[in-house]
Amino acid sequence: MRQIVLDTETTGLNPRSGDRIIEIGCVEMVNRRLTGNNLHYYVNPERDSEEGALAVHGLTTEFLSDKPKFAAIASELRDYLQGAEVIIHNAPFDIGFLEAEFARLQVPTFREHVCGVIDTLVEAKTLYPGKRNSLDALCDRYGVSNAHRTLHGALLDAELLAEVYLAMTRGQNTLTIDLHGDEQGDGAATQMPVLPLGDILVVRASDSERAAHEMVLNALDKEVRGACVWRLPSAER
């Protein structure tokens, strides 16, 4: 599966009021492996950034003045994204800006170019309800170093998000192993052989262990003034 982790920086918060994209960063993964086939643009937005946005990304109008306009990079970006599953943190924000840019060029929408979108902010809120789920908070939670992140940058943030996403979804790995130098011509991973189960060893509790267990249950019964949950039939627990 081909996935693209994507992030943007913008002149402000609202594309409907004329704010534009000034930076796009994309990180490619194929079968959950970083390929190094990344894409990065600075974009001339043809307007100034709002003061608050400039404080976040630090990309001045002067710096962006000689960069290509979105129309000049749109075709390459659309080809790069074509058919991929896209991973974005707070996807409605970035997609809203991309859709506005594509609409200005009267080309098919962003969603028509990709096969689906994963919003890691939504995923994180499901996993950690009521907690901070910003990219910085997720980096701290999953041990992803962001010490070099003093300002927001689209490519840097996409690289961090890729690491966070792989950590968040680590349990979704398939039971395959990539044996370097021993891959089939199509690049498919070699599946691990299914081995027969060994004999199951059952170690039963001794009389003294059962007596100690009963003492613990009696103490729990006393605490709850009745029968503790461990004495109930399994269907009622």
Domain termination site, one of 132, 157, 177: 177
Question: Residues 43, 159: one domain?
Answer: yes
What pLDDT score does 215 carry?
A: 83
CB 194 within 8 Å of CB 175 = no
Give residue-wise pLDDT tens across range 113-138.
Answer: 999 999 999 999 999 999 999 999 99
Q: Which of 131, 158, 177 is the last residue of a domain?
A: 177
pTM for this prediction: 0.71
pLDDT > 90? residue 183: no
Q: Residue 187 — pLDDT band, cuts 50, 70, 90?
A: very low
Residue 125 lies in a domain: yes
Distances (CA, A) of 23 to 39, 41, 74, 83, 89: 11, 6, 12, 22, 15
pLDDT of residue 126: 95
pLDDT band of 191, cuts 50, 70, 90: low
Domain span at residue 222 reads 207-236
| Positions marked active-site | 152
pLDDT at 228: 72
Sign of torsion over alpha carbons 219, 220, 222, 227: negative
206 pLDDT band, cuts 50/70/90, is confident
Does the pLDDT at position 198 exceed 70? no
Cα dihedral value 53, 46, 80, 119, nearest 10: 30
CATH of the domain at 7: 3.30.420.10
For residues 138 and 25, membership in a common domain is answered with yes
Residue 138 and residue 212 in one domain: no
For position 185, what pLDDT does the model report? 46
Identify whether 23 is part of a domain.
yes
Task: Give the 3-state secondary structure of residue 41.
Answer: strand
Does residue 28 register a pLDDT over 90? yes
Closest CA to 38 of 151, 156, 168: 156
Query: Which carries the bigger pLDDT value, residue 198 or residue 125?
Result: 125
pLDDT at 234 over 70: no
